[in-house]
Amino acid sequence: MPEEIPKLDRETLKQWSTLSYPDLVIELCSLFIDPELIPKKDLKVLVDRAFSRFRHRDVVHLSRMKNGLNVLELWHGVTYAFKDLSLSCTGQFLQYFLEKRQKHVTIVVGTSGDTGSSAIESVRGAKNMDIIVLLPLGRCSKIQELQMTTVIEENVHVFGVDGNSDELDEPIKDVFADVAFAKKHNLMSLNSINWSRVLVQMAHHFFAYFQCVPSMDICPLPTVEVVVPTGAAGNLAACPDAAWPPPRLPSSRTPSSKPSW
């Protein structure tokens, strides 16, 4: 990890502006992942493998609507959730390190719907990982429930629980608070603030910006307004404000609020 957030010059942005979405993810990850941890050639293999199951050939697609409105399609993954993009990469990174260290982990996930199914798809069948998902009964959509309960893999374990997603987070927190137990069973989670998820989600904003701006030679660079539908605002954490160079940065906001950056 770098000691400070990387700054990008205009020339780098120009080079990045023509990249495919997977290649953009690779370049972004390379800024934060030491090549001694994951060499770039290995990183490319992992990212390409992560996106191999997406239905759209470009992985992410920008649909151009009327009156300058564009919609960034992030739903072409296995579970139709935007979380497939980051979790598919996180699963590959995790497996890469576990194989090197010959280690096994148990992933514990509480879900309100899309995180559970995306997390399952990212690690299903992996020999170095077991995943335990707590599913709040009657509080997910039918398709999300089926996505979680119909996966037949030895390393996938789904349990229905009473209560909402906030309530089921409490026993999970208690389990991780028992440090000796968590260490004994190599417990970890894949929640919305997992750094790997935030890192990969940065690519959404860069890719959308490059698609919307006609040229990186314009000075100053134009502002693009980004509206992010969100629940707990975890997906806003990846807005790469600090990574952009001047001038003023693209804003990120929920549909009902003023720009928050």
Catalytic residues, by residue number, are: 83
Closest CA to 98 of 155, 48, 19, 137: 155
Residue in this structure with the two tokens 């709040």, named with its chain if needed: 136
136 φ/ψ angles, rounded to the nearest 5 degrees: -70, 110
Interior/surface letters 212-221, b for 16+ CB within 10 angstroms, e for the rest: bbeebeeeeb
CA of residue 182 relative to chain centroid, distance:
24
Neighbours of 183 (CB within 10 A): 9
Residue in this structure with the two tokens 């598919």, named with its chain if needed: 88
For residue 102, the cross-strand partners are none
